[in-house]
Structure 1
Amino acid sequence: MAERQLTAGGPGGGPAARVWAVRTWARLPVAGRIAIIYLLARLVTTGLMVLTSSLSAPPSRFGLQPTLGEYVLGWDAQWYWWVAENGYPSTLPVTPAGDVTENAWAFMPVYAYLAKVVGFGDWGAGALLVSLIAGFLACLALHRLLRPRIGSTAALWAVVFFANGPLAALFQVGYAETLFVLLLLVALDLASRHRYPLLYLLIPVMGYTRPGILAFALFLGLHGIVRWLRRRREPLPVRDMVHIVALGALATVVGFSWQVIAAIVTGDPGAYLKTELSWRRNWLTDPRPDFFPFEGFVRGAEFWAMKWGMPAWFGWILLVALVVGIALILLRARAVRRLGSDIRLWSASYVLYLLAVFFPQSSTFRLLMPLTPLVGALAVPRSRTYRWGMLLLCLLLQWLWIHVMYGLAQTYWQVP
């Protein structure tokens, strides 16, 4: 049937050439197909970044016609570079009013130092290589995670959407997201296959790559509860339960350990949280001096509602609608349900984590990258028109994100 469809004529070469291309593609191992998809996606992203550079205006923080190397080292990449070159401050920087200002303690060490090692001292080159390689390996891990759930073809389309998605520029800049997503996808695959021992090595690396390991601790707890409830249908050996509890405890300890390390080095028990809260002063004139769970999203909803000319209470309505909508998608959407309980539990855990600890602003789009497994739901429909249309939408959103965050790059609307 596929060959008859391909030989029906049309643009793109003769029937024989198209049949040969289809057969050659079918003979390639999955890793080879993913490598081709990933390479083509990176060429497209590079082209979009070059186009963005040509359109860059003086008001942009990158100035006129910046190089791709400047984009690699832009925004938060500067903080990772600083950590690799200078380490972490033993004395917290403060404003004249005594408030802690933005500093390196907000950025975990694994990506920063790994990029320096890989680049043999050239941090920018190392960061680019780490992000590129981690992105390709993440594509392989995503396919492995999704294939048993939605089939090999749909999983391959999920890789296409991921590699070409709105945040695809992160595969080519000095951010830790792609490395964290790689580790996360491997960890989810191990947990779903009940291969728990390897997670003892993976969890600390995840925890010191990027914030989010506390969400994984919550996921492990929910994963254990689900396995307990299903124990009559799916055997639950005692050793598995012991592993789940121990790994949840390890993830929790790792998640809070960075606060302890920052406190010991600086002598300030609240060093890490004060550092994280310092970024909120870019938006709020009266931020709370202490961290309070979920306050960031509540204040953020009020802030953005008033920024858009609406009363603050309308922001609360929007926030409630957002939470209810996400819950309904995770609980009821058929395509999402096909992904299985572990992916949905992780997604719920990470969304709850974001709601608890972050202030919503333009960087929130980047912070959604750990929800990558949900891209499998977008690949479930089999319509060729739908899939190619979704790819086009991904590319359009990718261009928009790159142009706004790296081309315009001026205000809090444009921080990746």
Structure 2
Amino acid sequence: MDEPEAGTAQTPRLWDAAGAWRGVLTAIGILALTRAGQLLMIWWLGGATQEPRTIRERLLIWDAGWFLRVAMDGYPEGYTYDANGTLQGNELAFFPVYPILIRAGAAIGIDPGTAALGVAWIASVGAAIALHLLGTSLYGKKAGWALVAICCSAPASVVLSMAYSESIFLALVAGTFVAAHRKVWWAAGLLGLATALSRPTGAAAALGLAVAALIAIREPGGRKLAPLAAAAAAGAGVPLYLGWVAWRVGDLSAWFKIQTAGWGTSFDYGVSTFNFLKTTLRTGDGWVPMSVALILLVALAAAGVALAQKPWLPLAVYGVVAMILVYGQAGFYHSKPRLLLPVLLTLLPAVVAAARARPRVAVLSIVAWALFGLWYGAYLVTVWPYTL
């Protein structure tokens, strides 16, 4: 939906529309409830496992180790091989914004693991604020709170408490689209560039921002240079990092080879996703694969409903491209719900419905969703033995 410039007589300032400090603190409170509830579930489920670990240890597993190595040891000079000469994945697969922030925390004397968690948790607060502002800008204050609650209690939202880059990416991508929707182009460009240097999916956000810029310059009397500069800055992020990896290794396709060697990640136009769905729904054994398959199908259906409701075009473009990247690539099937978390498009139908429903109905529905989603994430980092 297109709106006039923020602060005009027709449209109140976003800060006021979002409820000012009270509205923002409510969004942070919703985030805090989801995080505290999920940490309690992790503690409870972890006590029943055969491998005793503290909550901190569970929040610092899997990809967290890679980010910490980048932060403290830097990136390797080239490819990494095992004793048999087989190419392995290495730290060059991980984009730099999160490791830089961890390193900054460690530089002032904070333990690296604590710094990694601290950065992720602070970024989660930023994500809650940005999500509330985005939902408010698009659909109103109630939608802003609903977007925070639904996103931060989704089945893979446990990564918002872990030393993963999702919290930073979510804060940055939501902030980028808030700035673009309110036509604050300098902020959209800077946030878009940081988004693109946080995760490869930042390329999808850059495309969405480019669409917002094109819409802006086509408006009568609209600014030309600022929107184009913002889109150019965001669009440069992913190519800059991939180009730097290529230069460092001496191979134009270095980043892609490292990803494939380490995590089996390659774009196969959805063949592996289709085969996973077909096999799991027909003969799958185990409830986690089945639940992932259902999550993937429900997310597709939700995206279809969202597109039928004609959301703001830049957000729709970002969501569609991000989903193509998730569904179109080979890799660990159990990581796909996590990769879908920042897409946002799949959440819009529920957000709009919650904003229009009676408060009691909306709250009860979101609480039911949260109980399952938070438990699901806690289960994956305690009982489920594989990477998230």
For this structure pair, what is the TM-score category when the shorter chain's length is used for normalisation? 0.7 to 0.9
Q: Deviations over 1:209-268 (max 9, x none)?
A: 22222112221333345456xx4xx4352x33x344443333333212222211222223
Distance 1:256 1:304 in 2: 32
Q: How far has the Cα of 1:95 moved from its partner? A: 4.0
Q: How far has the Cα of 1:308 moved from its partner? A: 5.8
Q: Is the contact between residue 150 and residue 369 of structure 2 (CA under 8 Å) also seen in structure 1?
A: no
Q: Is the contact between residue 139 and residue 162 of structure 1 (CA under 8 Å) also seen in structure 2?
A: no
Partner of 1:174: 163
Q: Deviations over 1:50-77 (max 9, x none)?
A: 01211222xxxxx22x101101210100
Q: Is the contact between residue 91 and residue 266 of structure 1 (CA under 8 Å) also seen in structure 2?
A: yes
* Pick aligned residue for 1:258 from 241, 247, 255: 241
* Pick aligned residue for 1:235 from 220, 232, 249: 220
Partner of 1:398: 374
Partner of 2:138: 149
Q: How far has the Cα of 1:368 moved from its partner? A: 0.9
Is 1:270 matched up with 2:253? yes
Q: Is the contact between residue 176 and residue 189 of structure 2 (CA under 8 Å) also seen in structure 1?
A: no
Distance 2:250 2:321 in 1: 32
Partner of 1:29: 22
Partner of 1:114: 101
* Pick aligned residue for 2:352 from 380, 385, 388: 380
Q: How far has the Cα of 1:45 moved from its partner? A: 1.4
Partner of 1:159: 148
Distance 2:369 2:313 in 1: 28
Q: How far has the Cα of 1:144 moved from its partner? A: 1.1
Q: Is the contact between residue 98 and residue 168 of structure 2 (CA under 8 Å) also seen in structure 1?
A: yes
Q: 1:27 to 1:225 in 2, by over 3 A?
A: closer
Q: Is the contact between residue 142 and residue 373 of structure 1 (CA under 8 Å) also seen in structure 2?
A: no
Q: Which residue identity is paired with 1:258?
A: Y
Q: Is the contact between residue 149 and residue 366 of structure 2 (CA under 8 Å) also seen in structure 1?
A: no
> SS in structure 2 opposite 1:180?
helix
* Pick aligned residue for 1:91 from 50, 73, 78: 78
Partner of 2:306: 330
Distance 2:160 2:71 in 1: 20
Q: Is the contact between residue 127 and residue 170 of structure 2 (CA under 8 Å) also seen in structure 1?
A: yes
Partner of 1:409: 384
Partner of 2:322: 350
Q: Deviations over 1:366-388 (max 9, x none)?
A: 11121236534313331323431
Distance 1:250 1:131 in 2: 24
Q: Which residue identity is paired with 2:47?
A: S
Q: Which residue identity is paired with 1:259?
A: L
Q: How far has the Cα of 1:348 moved from its partner? A: 1.7
Higher mean C-alpha displacement, 356-365 vs 267-276 = 356-365
Is 1:104 matched up with 2:91? yes
Distance 1:217 1:236 in 2: 24
Distance 1:105 1:93 in 2: 10
* Pick aligned residue for 1:302 from 264, 275, 285: 275
Q: 1:90 to 1:225 in 2, by over 3 A?
A: same
Q: How far has the Cα of 1:185 moved from its partner? A: 0.8
Q: How far has the Cα of 1:138 moved from its partner? A: 1.2
Q: Percent identity?
A: 23
Q: 1:265 to 1:127 in 2, by over 3 A?
A: same
Q: Deviations over 1:348-378 (max 9, x none)?
A: 2322333455536111111112123653431
Q: Deviations over 1:364-413 (max 9, x none)?
A: 1111121236534313331323431232222212212221x211232xxx
Q: How far has the Cα of 1:306 moved from its partner? A: 4.1
Normalised TM-score (structure 1): 0.76
Structure 2 unmatched runs, 5+: 1-18, 285-293
Distance 2:37 2:209 in 1: 37
Q: How far has the Cα of 1:277 moved from its partner? A: 0.8
Q: Which residue identity is paired with 1:330?
A: A
Q: How far has the Cα of 1:128 moved from its partner? A: 1.5
Partner of 2:4: none
* Pick aligned residue for 1:54 from 21, 35, 47: 47
Q: Is the contact between residue 79 and residue 249 of structure 2 (CA under 8 Å) also seen in structure 1?
A: yes
Q: Is the contact between residue 52 and residue 406 of structure 1 (CA under 8 Å) also seen in structure 2?
A: no
* Pick aligned residue for 2:60 from 55, 68, 73: 73
Q: Which residue identity is paired with 2:381?
A: Y
Distance 1:359 1:366 in 2: 13
After TM superposition, the structure 1 = structure 2 runs for residues 151-230 of structure 1, keeping only pairs within 5 Å, are: 151-227=140-216
Distance 1:415 1:91 in 2: 25
Q: Is the contact between residue 105 and residue 272 of structure 1 (CA under 8 Å) also seen in structure 2?
A: yes
Q: Is the contact between residue 150 and residue 376 of structure 1 (CA under 8 Å) also seen in structure 2?
A: no
Partner of 1:341: 313
Q: 1:271 to 1:197 in 2, by over 3 A?
A: same
Larger Rg belongs to: 1
CA RMSD of aligned residues (A): 3.0
Q: How far has the Cα of 1:134 moved from its partner? A: 1.1
